[in-house]
């Protein structure tokens, strides 16, 4: 087993998988675009079905003119803390291959985009940042704001920032500012069978 970050795996694994977590307390510092691009570069090395690379990242940096617009596209409960991130990203996936008119739908676009998100989160941690995924985003407004056409799915938002003391958070968020645990491995990994639940 491996122990790190108040977490313990059942088998020996690389500590980075335990050290990555999703804090909400961010410093709000302005970062160079190259810092974020390094993280996105890692993300786009994720594997994907037929190497279609269906992920797309729409991003801005804290301090940019459109920062408030990006913040407004999060649900209120996420706005409260994510506005202090250093970068905000919306992940979009392309759900067809070739020309949209050909109608060849991709079965795995969301799965592939999820792999890219995981790479992003790990590289963020390795680069001295934390990445926090957000399902709580205004999907329709994001589609409208960025003129995202049919054939693309708005998947999730991501806040990237440097860790601050949890005292910057509301009382409710302070209470949940800790690395979470996981189910036992045998609740999710089955040898030769499937167990629902
Ligand atoms: C796709 C996705 C959507 C999430 N949505 C939200 C969200 O809207 N707001 C939030 O505060 N946390 C959100 N989270 C964070 C999860 O709650 C968190 O990843 C999970 O509890 C595991 O904790 P850990 O990332 O610290 O290991 C989201 C995470 C993912 C991957």
Task: Decide if 75 is inside a domain.
Answer: yes
What digits encode the pLDDT tens for the residues 103-151? 688 999 999 999 999 999 999 999 999 999 999 999 999 999 999 999 9
Residue 175 belongs to some domain of the structure: no
Residue 6 · residue 178 · CB < 8 Å = yes
Alpha carbon separation from 154 to 92, 100, 197 (Å, rounded): 4, 17, 28
Question: For position 97, what pLDDT does the model report?
Answer: 77
What digits encode the pLDDT tens for the residues 75-99? Answer: 999 999 999 999 999 999 999 877 6
Q: Is 134 left (phi over 0), alpha (psi -120 to 50) or beta?
A: beta
Residue 196: predicted pLDDT? 96
For residue 53, tell me if it sits in a domain. yes
Tell me if 172 is assigned to some domain: no
Domain annotation covers residue 112 = yes
CA of 98 to the centre of ligand 1 (A): 32
43 within domain boundaries: yes
pLDDT the model gives residue 155: 98
The pLDDT of residue 100 is: 65
CATH number of the structural domain spanning residue 104: 3.40.109.10
Domain count, the chain: 1
Measured torsion, CA atoms of residues 163, 3, 177, 162, in degrees rounded to the nearest 10: 10
Q: Which residue range is the domain that position 138 belongs to?
A: 20-164
CA distance 89 to 159: 6
| Residue 161 · residue 26 · CB < 8 Å | yes
Structural domain includes residue 189? no
For the chain, what is the radius of gyration of the CA atoms?
18
102 C-alpha vs ligand 1 centroid, how far in Å? 35
Q: What is the mean pLDDT of the chain?
A: 96
Name the residue of 89, 115, 131, 135 to mutate for ligand 1: max ligand atoms within 8 A of Cβ: 135
pLDDT of 102 > 90? The answer is no
State the closest ligand 1 atom to the C-alpha of 22, by its place in the atom list counted from 1. 26
Question: What is the mean pLDDT of the segment spanning 164-180?
Answer: 98
Ligand 1 neighbours by CB, cut-off 6 Å? 21-22, 78, 133-136, 156, 179-180
Residue 68: alpha-carbon gap to chain centroid:
19
Secondary structure percentages of the chain, helix, strand, coil, to 5: 35, 20, 45
Confirm whether 88 is domain-assigned. Answer: yes
């Amino acid at each position: 087993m491996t122990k790190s970050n108040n977490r313990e795996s059942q088998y020996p694994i690389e500590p980075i998988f335990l050290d990555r977590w999703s804090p909400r307390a961010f410093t709000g510092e302005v970062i160079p675009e190259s810092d974020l691009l390094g993280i996105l570069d890692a993300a786009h090395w994720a594997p994907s079905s037929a190497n279609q690379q269906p992920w797309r990242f729409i991003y801005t940096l804290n301090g940019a003119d459109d920062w408030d617009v990006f913040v407004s596209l999060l649900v209120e409960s996420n706005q409260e803390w994510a506005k202090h991130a250093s970068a905000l990203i919306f992940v979009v996936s392309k759900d067809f291959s070739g020309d949209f008119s050909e109608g060849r739908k991709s079965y795995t676009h969301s799965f592939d985009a999820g792999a890219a998100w995981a790479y992003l989160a790990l590289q963020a941690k390795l680069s001295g940042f934390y990445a926090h995924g957000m399902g709580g985003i205004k999907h329709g407004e994001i589609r409208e704001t960025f003129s995202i056409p049919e054939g693309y799915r708005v998947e999730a938002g991501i806040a990237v920032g440097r860790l601050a003391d949890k005292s910057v958070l509301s009382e409710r968020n302070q209470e949940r500012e800790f690395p979470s645990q996981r189910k036992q491995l045998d609740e999710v990994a089955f040898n030769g069978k499937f167990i629902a639940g």
